[in-house]
Amino acid sequence: MSAAQTQSRSVLAGIADDPLLEISGLVVETGPARRPIELLRSIELAIPKGARVGVVGESGSGKSMTASAILGVLPNGVRARAGTIRFDGRDLMTLPEREMRRIRGGEISLVSQNAVASLNPLMTVGAQIAKVCREHTGVSKQEAWTRTVELLDALGIPEPDVRARSYPHHFSGGMAQRVAIAMALICSPQLVIADEPTTGLDATIQAQVLEVIDGSVKASGAALLLISHDLAVIRAMCDIVAVVYAGSLLEYGPADEVLNRPLSPYTQGLIRCMDPPEGEIAFIPGRIPEPGTLGAGCPFAERCDRATDACRAQQPALRQLRPDHWVSCHHE
């Protein structure tokens, strides 16, 4: 812990005077302690107050693991070994479980990918939202219920007082996602983490759900951490973009900067895939390396057409090359 504490500020800390959330040097690993497999390799992230940060990366890049680490709900057998997660002046890594529990759902909340599956099938959705509300605010049962119905109404659920008494399996994907958003907002958190909130929804429903997230998060004044593999979703929703690859942060900066003038060859590849030149199906050759197979070099070197011996030998440090725009690449 001591090594981590000496460098507890992220290089990204300069993005704002006092970021709401700041992750620095976070290492998350699994497997036996003697031969650990690193899932997050000293990842960095900063979320200014009220900002919308999009984390983009392929599946397996560690996006969701970062979300779990922030909330302190890593899966069994996975542990955070080093690093700090500063949130609103506290280090979440060293916070006792009781206080951490108050933060979960109260100050930081989660909208997960499969909304129906993320709700307890045996309880009405209203009861579940009200339960989270009571757990963190201690209001009366009746008050919690009133707030729940009001919020469902505000999120565009028709007949909210009837729907609150329905069970999760009665909801369509889009409606269930609204319920999940209501649960995430009921305690007025400072940070909402949305982990692939629209993956698996129809395109039209996807747009509606994004609009609900957009409007409700704006209205609540919370910051948003939007995790997605879909660059188009990130582009539509976020003002800051973080590009992660194989457990490392490769690029971080303002959305129009990163998306229009990307510095990392990986980001450039992702953008080409989203928006390929006429008559071309763009892809990045190769696949994301399995956790635990990476050496000391740049994690993307294997798939990068500009990779040199230097790239393969040493992982480049995050450097601020433009205002508020960081990249981890030897070439820039």
Distance CA 240, CA 223 (A): 11
State the minimum distance, in angstroms, from the CB of residue 130 to another protein: 12
Of the candidate spans 97-105, 216-224, 264-272, 283-291, the one that interacts with another protein by CB under 8 A turns out to be 97-105
Q: Does 40 bind another protein (CB under 8 A)?
A: no
Tell me the residue type at 166. S
Distance CA 79, CA 63 (A): 15
Distance CA 49, CA 279 (A): 42
Quick check: 265 and 244 in contact, CB under 8 A? Answer: no
Among 109, 206, 248, 267, binds another protein (CB under 8 A): 109
**x/- binding map, residues 52-91, to another protein, per CB under 8 A?**
----------------x--x-x-x----------------
Distance CA 196, CA 92 (A): 23
State the minimum distance, in angstroms, from the CB of residue 137 to another protein: 11
Among 110, 231, 288, 318, binds another protein (CB under 8 A): 110
Quick check: 165 and 219 in contact, CB under 8 A? Answer: no
Cβ closer to another protein: 135 or 324?
135
Q: Does 206 bind another protein (CB under 8 A)?
A: no
Q: Does 183 bind another protein (CB under 8 A)?
A: yes
- For residue 5, give Cα distances in angstroms to 25, 78, 135, 208, 290: 10, 22, 32, 43, 29
State the minimum distance, in angstroms, from the CB of residue 66 to another protein: 13
**x/- binding map, residues 232-271, to another protein, per CB under 8 A?**
----------------------------------------
Among 103, 182, 226, 301, binds another protein (CB under 8 A): 103
State the minimum distance, in angstroms, from the CB of residue 63 to another protein: 15
Please name every residue paired with 194 in a beta bridge, in sequence order, or none if there are none.
Answer: 111, 226
Among 135, 153, 214, 239, binds another protein (CB under 8 A): 135
Q: Does 120 bind another protein (CB under 8 A)?
A: yes
Total residues in contact with another protein, by rule CB under 8 A: 27
Please give the DSSP secondary-structure letter assigned to residue 33: S
Q: Does 132 bind another protein (CB under 8 A)?
A: yes
Cβ closer to another protein: 45 or 103?
103
State the minimum distance, in angstroms, from the CB of residue 171 to another protein: 13
Q: Does 102 bind another protein (CB under 8 A)?
A: yes
Distance CA 329, CA 250 (A): 7
In 3D, which of 63, 54, 82, 64 has the Cα closest to residue 118? 64
In 3D, which of 294, 292, 239, 298 has the Cα closest to residue 266? 298
Distance CA 194, CA 52 (A): 11
Of the candidate spans 5-13, 101-109, 138-146, 307-315, the one that interacts with another protein by CB under 8 A turns out to be 101-109
Quick check: 80 and 105 in contact, CB under 8 A? Answer: no
- The neighbour count for residue 166, using CB atoms within 10 Å, is 16
Give the sheet arrangement for strand 37-47, strand by strand.
37-47, 21-30, 78-87, 90-91
Residues that bind another protein (CB under 8 A): 68, 71, 73, 75, 101-106, 109-110, 112, 114, 117-122, 131-132, 135-136, 167, 169, 183
